[in-house]
Structure 1
């Protein structure tokens, strides 16, 4: 009898209300946001390119054919060839793997470390807040690219060290964001009530503080991936990121800059790839901010 009553009650709830929920509503709003959809579509295309690179090209990105050097785009070489006769289309495809790998991993590292430090500073305060905030101030006192160059110069030029450097220089961005969010959350009534009934700080952080801090982290992280890709390309351009023969887009631009007038295709396609990828993450980040930030929603 009780089961029949539950089914009757469930049937009496409107279907639209049963289907409602914060994440479901956010997804519906996201799909209506054309900017976000375009950004996500661009990102998905480049992710598929990175995954399917071996199937999309029959050339080896390391293969050098000096007799075919600096050939213009053609049916044989869609994006032309570089000064060593390597197929630029193939190298651009494989370059997507490197740029996305660096972008995602560096941002994940920044978010993990920045979130941990931001929670310590915002929730516990006192000397934790003073020490961590001064650390953030010191890191932010340097231009990010110069600090990344200094870190790579100490560790040695390589793609992995460039990833570490990019992650480190972006930690204050997420740390200060989380700190400010935690400072506002810990004064909420439900946090005060949880403390009053003896809930441990660790449980408050995991069950209440962290989940309610995810929205700004997601938005900033999405935008941060585009920034990380640009920084990786800048380090590669300076010879401090990926090393030959790795087909990193910034390194490809650096190797071809002397041919910008005689063979412009050698710099056009890697540069276009950087621009489109960063554009995709920026559009997605702006769309997520519009969807997830309550202040951006129409009243």
Structure 2
């Protein structure tokens, strides 16, 4: 009588339960371990949710005036006080988050699209294409950013849309030069050489292989750039070149209240705190993303 053949030994439990991780999962795990970055993420989420649900969170109409309640100090009725027209400051800060965040995200998105397109072309094709695009970046970077933004808005006219265009333009060279340097190294990789050898088109190589592998520093820079864009838009609005009545953003609130700094300091303190906290949140989150996505920052 023959004995049955022994069944093959199963793999160990550790091998069966082995989890295949991806760079993005590793980055997220590293990001969540950074407590400071999580604080920044929570601040950003708080202001984003505040902007989304602004109509339901505002205790009053943000443009409702009441001269009998002008320049009232913070109280149980108006938690953050009122401005010189009796408008509730808390309601205006909540609604102003919509414009400030929206402008910040749109500016950076436009800068990324234009800057990355030009940077990829300059890095991939080189020669005269690189020379022309790089000199364009150098010209834009030769001007102080806020002065260039003021000049653009002065030409186009004081308006929130024109301020958005100006902020997007001054940030284009930052993203363009960043991704150009990344493309210069990525295009020398063996898989790019292989793709060229089998006759793959330049467009397919650029958008299927080079661009996705060059976006890590852009993501980090984009997060930090949103904070910068919010400050720049607030600065333009403070100078009267951004949001115009009846629109409201935090920079315009500061401009409208500057003459009441001594008489009613809360009219400037609370919009200033909103700008500071939002910028702080994006900066903390951006630093955390840099630490998580940059291999050189890992132990």
- 2:19 alignment partner, SS class: helix
- The answer to whether structure 1 residue 96 and structure 2 residue 97 are counterparts is yes
- The answer to whether structure 1 residue 84 and structure 2 residue 82 are counterparts is no
- TM-superposition CA deviations, 1:228-280 (whole Å, max 9, x none): 00000000000000001222100110110111111000000000000000000
Give the corresponding residue for 2:254: 253
- 1:256 alignment partner, SS class: helix
Q: Give 1 or 2 for the bigger CA radius of gyration.
A: 2
Give the corresponding residue for 1:126: 127
Q: TM-score, normalised by structure 1?
A: 0.94
Q: Distance in 2 between matches of 1:15 and 1:223?
A: 38
Q: Distance in 1 between matches of 2:17 and 2:153?
A: 56
Give the corresponding residue for 2:228: 227
- 1:170 alignment partner, SS class: helix
- TM-superposition CA deviations, 1:30-87 (whole Å, max 9, x none): 1111121111100000011111212122311111111111000001111100011110
* Correspondence list, 1:95-244, <5 A: 95-244=96-245
How much does 1:12 deviate?
A: 7.4
Say if 2:227 and 2:278, in contact at 8 Å, map to a contact too: yes
* Correspondence list, 1:53-68, <5 A: 53-68=54-69
Q: Distance in 1 between matches of 2:165 and 2:26?
A: 37
* Correspondence list, 1:33-48, <5 A: 33-48=34-49
Q: Distance in 2 between matches of 1:230 and 1:276?
A: 11
Say if 2:58 and 2:95, in contact at 8 Å, map to a contact too: no
Give the corresponding residue for 2:76: 75
Q: TM-score, normalised by structure 2?
A: 0.94
Higher helix proportion, which one? 1
* Unmatched 5+ stretches in structure 1: 1-7
Q: Distance in 2 between matches of 1:63 and 1:240?
A: 24
Give the corresponding residue for 1:283: 284
How much does 1:17 deviate?
A: 2.5
Q: Distance in 2 between matches of 1:201 and 1:189?
A: 16
- TM-superposition CA deviations, 1:174-193 (whole Å, max 9, x none): 00001111111111222122
Instruction: Spell out structure 1 runs of 4+ moving beyond 6 A.
Output: 8-12
Aligned Cα root-mean-square deviation (Å): 1.4
Q: Distance in 2 between matches of 1:201 and 1:106?
A: 29
Give the corresponding residue for 1:264: 265
- 2:263 alignment partner, SS class: coil
- TM-superposition CA deviations, 1:155-214 (whole Å, max 9, x none): 111111111110011000000001111111111222122212222211111121011111
What is the count of residue pairs matched by the alignment?
290
Give the corresponding residue for 1:15: 17
Q: Distance in 2 between matches of 1:39 and 1:12?
A: 36
